[in-house]
Structure formats: structure tokens, C-alpha cells
Amino acid sequence: MTRELHFFVNVGSSGYHPAAWREDDLPADAFIRLSHYRRTAEIAERGALDGLLFPDIPVQQPSIARAPAATLDPILLTSALAVSTERIGLIPTATTTLNRPYNLARRILSLDRISGGRAGWNVVTTFAPDAARNFGLHDLPEREERYRRAAEYVDLTLRLWDSWEDDAVIGDQAAGRFADPARVHAVDHDGEFYRVAGPLNVPRSPQGRPVLVQAGASGPGRSFAAAWAEAIYTTHLSLAGAQEFATEIRSAATASGRDPDAVRILPGLIPVLGSTEREAQAAFDRLQQRLHPDSDPVRSLAAWLGHPDEVLDLDAPLPPRLLTLPEGRIGPQGFFYSLTRYAAETGYTVRRLLTEFLGGHRVVAGTPDAVADHIEHWFRTGAVDGFTIIPAVLPASLADFVDQVVPLLRARGLFRREYTGTTLRHHLGLAEPSNSFAPALAAADRK
């Protein structure tokens, strides 16, 4: 089968750029209006994109004075959007560190049922100590332990999702037989971190299981992704880095007994469009100029690298001492390594880096043809299966992408013209997984 591109959309607040909320045609409180997200979903669905991914950090961000650094609960929001959309996938983020397995498994599967098989789960482990304190935790486990917990958590969740066989519901109203109890299974899990009896009280997913998405790019995060993820939302500024990442993930997936081609790698991409490259760059510069004075991009970049007191020279490359991960730095390691690798490879000045980098992801400012060229080039190398589009401003930047770039990709034979299925798993070209309890059931039936 011919490969085709896949696209998620990162849906956050008024857009990914910190100054997005200041756009004239956006109400300041757009980030808490359901109509704002409905409009975004309508545009994505019009473009036949695969799914909407909703980030979540369950803590109030300190930048609240300068931007609406707040989010609605992504599971509740996606549930609301399920009734106003028909095909687009819905992927809330939820942390394994701060949620109980049974409750989260039930909520995600409920979303999947409500949406007719369009749910995914973006699995994260949470690195923010302030978030932990909101849940009564004094400290978070170290990164390696968080991922060990997450592995047990996901394995348990999959078995909870499988606890009803596909044909467990009989539904014979005349005879009064609703379900076959022999086809509904307890999980009886007693592990290192969790004890859960089960079964879940929601029947199995219309798509087999909700799609597992993963967003970590540290060493433990990559190992976790190779073992469990069906789609990976990651960060890459360098094509060489993206190629190495894809090779590593697919090789590790094979070693874990998985099909390496059953993992969709979708790094973040921030497209900024204009009729000319100069016009596109001017649009990005205008957003940068609307930042609050306290959000100086140069100072923010230094702080993001873990050196808040560093004074960077705009017209010089990043100093070599800043290219090593500082001891004790808290935050996503994947973003750090992606940026510092790109800075070292290119030797670009800080000024140039700030035109291609925003909040951990690559900015491509140019004409629709130039953005389509970038997407096609990375896709054809095999480094990616598509991208997670990160609109700088919502919904305007997404509408630009859908109306100006997607038609070009369709004309090149790289992207679908319409949906051909109804589930997120079908959109992504992923097979429906077998039920983990099925072998035991088949053996029992043979006796």
C-alpha cells in the first residue's frame, strides 16, 4: 500500500504562540469557549486531518500575567467535541503519574464509545513538581521510575480495555440475556505500583482499543515509545536527527516484538504562511513583536535552555557551554536536545534560531509551496510519517494550512482527499489489535 501523510493538530488555548490571544479577531477568553474549539475542529475535519491532540499540564503556569496559560480539562473538552464532529480523532493528554489507572481507563474508553471509535490517549508522565503538589504529592519520582510506572500503567490499561470480549454483549431483549459473564474478564492485577481487580464496566472499543500516543523524547521516553506507542508526537529541528530517531524507534520496536511500520512518527511543525517568504516572515515577526516585554524571546530562550542569567548575543551562535544539558534542569529533555543539536549542526546565530524555533518546535515560515516542499521532503526520506501541525494562532493558522497547503499535498498524491473510515485507528492505517483475553477464551471454548 502506498504511504500517505498523517496529520495531528496540537490544539492549545488561542494558539501556540504566546501572543496569539492578542489577535484582533479573537476574544481574550477564547481559550475557555467551546465555540472556539468547535470552529478549530470543523476546520481540521474539513481538511480530513487525522486527529486533534489536546495538551495538558494540570497546574497554573507562572506566565498568567502575560498570556492565558490555562487549559480546560482535555477529556471533558474532547467529550464535548465528540458530539459536534463526525470523523476527526480526539486525543486528550493524561498523565500516568497523577491519575488512577481504572478511572482513567474508563474515562478514555467512554470517550471512545461516545465518539464511535475516534479516541486516542496521549500518554505523559509529568515532570512539573508544582503539578504534583496539586495532587497531594510532595515529590515526583525520578524520570526512570516514572516511565517504569507508566509501562505498568499502560499494560494494565490495555487489559482493562480488553476486559470485555468483542461479542460479550448478547443484547437478546426477548430472552432477557444482556451479556455473557464468561466473556467479561477480571484483570486481577497486583504489580509493583498498582493493584486493580477489574473488569472495566464499559464494553470494548469500536476500534479495538483507543490509539496510544506518546510525547516523550528523553532516553526513557524513547524506550517507552518503542514498546507501547502507536503514534509519537516528538520534536525535531534537524532532518538528520529525525532520521536517527526513526531508525532508533523502529529498531527498538522490532526488538520488542512489534511491527516497526505500525508506529506513526509525527513531530511538531509550526507553519506560518504568506504569499512570499518575506510576507510569511513578517507575519511571524509581527507575533514576536506583540509579546509582552517580560517575554523577551532572547531571555526566554536562555531560561528555556536552563541558563536564565545568561546574556545571549543575537548575532553569534549559541555558546558551546550551553549545548550540554545543565545538571538539575527540569523540563522536557527532547526539546533541549533537538534545539542544541540543530544549533551545533548549523552554527546559526541566536537571531536565526529564533526565526525557526518556538517553544520546542520547528517554525517553517514561507509560501504554501515551500511548506508543502518541506513536508514532502521529510516524508519521502522516511524520517516521519507526517507532522503534528501546531498552529501559531487558532483557528486562523490552521485554516491557512488546510486551505493552502493540504490541496498541494493532495495534488502531489501524498494525502487523502476525504476520510475513508470512521475511526482514528483507520485514519492512521493501524490494524485493530486482538483482544488479550481471546486466546484464553478460545482455549476454554475448545474444551
Q: Which residue has the cell 483507520?
A: 426
Mean pLDDT value across residues 56-65: 77
**What's the grid cell of residue 102?**
481504572
- pLDDT tens digits along 28-39: 999 999 999 999
Phi-psi region of 265 (alpha: psi -120 to 50; beta: other; left: phi over 0): beta
- pLDDT for the residue 179: 95
- pLDDT tens digits along 86-95: 999 999 999 9
Mean pLDDT value across residues 10-17: 92
- pLDDT tens digits along 253-276: 999 999 999 999 999 999 999 999
Is 112 annotated in a binding site? The answer is: no
Q: Is residue 69 predicted with pLDDT exceeding 80? A: no
- pLDDT for the residue 330: 62
Q: Is residue 445 predicted with pLDDT exceeding 60? A: no
Which of 42-56, 161-175, 337-351, 374-388 is predicted least confidently? 337-351
Q: Is residue 82 predicted with pLDDT exceeding 50? A: yes
Chain-wide mean pLDDT for the chain? 91
- pLDDT for the residue 440: 53
- pLDDT for the residue 300: 78
pLDDT band at 336 (very low <50, low <70, confident <90, very high): confident
Mean pLDDT value across residues 227-242: 94
Is 194 annotated in a binding site? The answer is: no
- pLDDT for the residue 328: 64
- pLDDT for the residue 294: 67
Is 147 annotated in a binding site? The answer is: yes
CA proximity to 40, closest of 3, 4, 72: 72
Mean pLDDT value across residues 300-313: 83
- pLDDT tens digits along 169-221: 999 999 999 999 999 999 999 999 999 999 999 999 999 999 999 986 777 88
CATH fit for domain 6-166+202-270+366-428, picks 3.30.70.360, 3.40.1010.10, 3.20.20.30, 3.60.10.10: 3.20.20.30
Q: Which amino acid is at 356?
A: E
Q: Report the share of the chain in percent with pLDDT over 70.
A: 95
Is 157 annotated in a binding site? The answer is: no
Contacts for 28-34: CB closer than 8 Å, 24+ residues apart: 28/68, 29/68, 30/394, 31/68, 31/70, 31/71, 31/72, 32/70, 32/72, 34/77, 34/80
**What's the grid cell of residue 431?**
490494524
Q: Which of 28-32, 109-113, 130-134, 306-310 has the highest mean pLDDT?
A: 109-113
Q: Is the pTM of this model over 0.75?
A: yes
Give the residue with greater pLDDT, 80 vs 217. Answer: 80
* Maximum CA extent, the chain: 79
pLDDT band at 444 (very low <50, low <70, confident <90, very high): very low
**What's the grid cell of residue 310?**
545568561
- pLDDT for the residue 359: 81
Which of 99-108, 194-203, 321-330, 368-377 is predicted least confidently? 321-330
Mean pLDDT value across residues 319-342: 80
- For every residue of the chain, which 3-state class applies, written as one string? CCCCCEEEEECCCCCCCCCHHHCCCCCCCHHHCHHHHHHHHHHHHHCCCCEEEECCCCCCCHHHHCCCCCCCCHHHHHHHHHCCCCCCEEEEEEECCCCCHHHHHHHHHHHHHHCCCCEEEEEECCCCHHHHHHCCCCCCCCHHHHHHHHHHHHHHHHHHHCCECCCCEEEECCCCEEECHHHECCCCEECCCCEECCCCCCCCECCECCEEEECCCCHHHHHHHHHHCCEECCCCCCHHHHHHHHHHHHHHHHHCCCCHHHCEECCEEEEEECCCHHHHHHHHHHHHHCCCHHHCHHHHHHHHCCCCCCCCCCCCECCHHHHCCCCCCCCCHHHHHHHHHHHHHHCCEHHHHHHHEECCEEEEEECHHHHHHHHHHHHHCCCCCEEEECCCCCCHHHHHHHHHHHHHHHHCCCCCCCCCCCCHHHHCCCCCCCCCCHHHHHHHHHC
Q: Which of 37-41, 134-138, 329-333 has the highest mean pLDDT?
A: 37-41
Q: Is residue 135 predicted with pLDDT exceeding 90? A: no
- pLDDT for the residue 130: 79
Give the residue with greater pLDDT, 443 vs 44. Answer: 44
Q: Is residue 441 predicted with pLDDT exceeding 80? A: no
- pLDDT for the residue 239: 95
- pLDDT for the residue 219: 78
pLDDT band at 442 (very low <50, low <70, confident <90, very high): very low
Cα separation of 187 and 50, whole Å? 32
